[in-house]
Amino acid sequence: DGGITQSPKYLFRKEGQNVTLSCEQNLNHDAMYWYRQDPGQGLRLIYYSQIVNDFQKGDIAEGYSVSREKKESFPLTVTSAQKNPTAFYLCASSKVAGGQETQYFGPGTRLLVL
Partner 1 sequence: AQSVTQLGSHVSVSEGALVLLRCNYSSSVPPYLFWYVQYPNQGLQLLLKYTSAATLVKGINGFEAEFKKSETSFHLTKPSAHMSDAAEYFCAVSERPGGSYIPTFGRGTSLIVHP
Asked if residue 40 binds partner 1 (CB under 8 A), the reply is yes
Taking CB under 8 A as the rule, does residue 90 contact partner 1? yes
Query: How far is Cα 67 from Cα 99, in angstroms, rounded to an integer?
Result: 23
Nearest distance from C-beta of residue 12 to partner 1, angstroms: 17
2 touches partner 1 by CB under 8 A: no
Supply angle C-alpha 20, 63, 40, rounded to 5: 90
User: Does residue 16 touch partner 1 according to CB under 8 A?
Assistant: no
CB–CB of 50/72 below 8 Å?
Answer: no
Output 33 or 74, the one with its CB closest to partner 1. Answer: 33
φ, ψ of residue 111 in degrees (nearest 5): -105, 130
CA angle at 21 for the pair 90 and 79, rounded to the nearest 5°: 110
13-21, 63-71, 77-85, 104-112 -> range binding partner 1 (CB under 8 A): 104-112
Interface residue list for partner 1 (CB under 8 A): 4, 33, 35, 40-45, 48, 58, 88, 90, 92, 97-100, 102-103, 105-108, 110
